[in-house]
Amino acid sequence: MVRHKIGVLALQGAFESHANVLERLSQPSCLVRTAAELESVDALILPGGESSAMLRLMEAERLAHRVAHRVEHGMPILATCAGVILLALRVEPEQTSLALLDVDVVRNAYGRQLHSSVETLRFEAALRPPDRGSGVFIRAPRIVRVGSEVEILAWLDEDPVLVSQNRILAATYHPELGSDLRVHERFIGLVNSV
């Protein structure tokens, strides 16, 4: 099986934690800060952090445009926390996004930094067992609308927190900060099945 290279956007936020998970799973990866580095990867992870800061930092090399183009042409992408805000169709309070994922989100809906928490999640049977797990929420967005082509893979109470659409996998929490590797494993499977 071909092992494709996964890039982790490394402009701001929790990119090192994602790189560490990929290393633990023996998945070839690299940090992405430039257009040339983006072109060298087969898939991309958009980490948590501050979405408006990431958008500003992406401007210099037109990375937002380049990421959107690559995703529209089939590049798999995993977005976590602020990364989901970057991909969402609509964001409240209003903010620019790449509008690649047919969901609406509310920024910081689970509270500010001091309200960070570890919550019990319920996973869809399509993911490997067990059907319960934990998720780390830090200034997390809430998905308030899901389009008809979006599959929900996990919930916090009744809120969707892990969704999939085509080659996009998006978690409103931080799977890279917990011990449950199933989100990254699913993404790696998606990437390497191309």
Helix (H, G, I), strand (E, B) or coil at 122: strand
Taking the C-alpha atoms of 85, 87, 89 and 94 in order, what is their torsion angle to the nearest 10 degrees?
30
d(CA 58, CA 13): 13
Phi (first) and psi of residue 89, to 5 degrees: -65, -45
Q: Dihedral sign, CA of 16, 18, 23, 27?
A: negative
The residues assigned a catalytic role are: 81, 174, 176
Of 62, 35, 25, 163, give the one whose Cα is nearest residue 104. Answer: 163
**What is residue 114's DSSP assignment?**
G
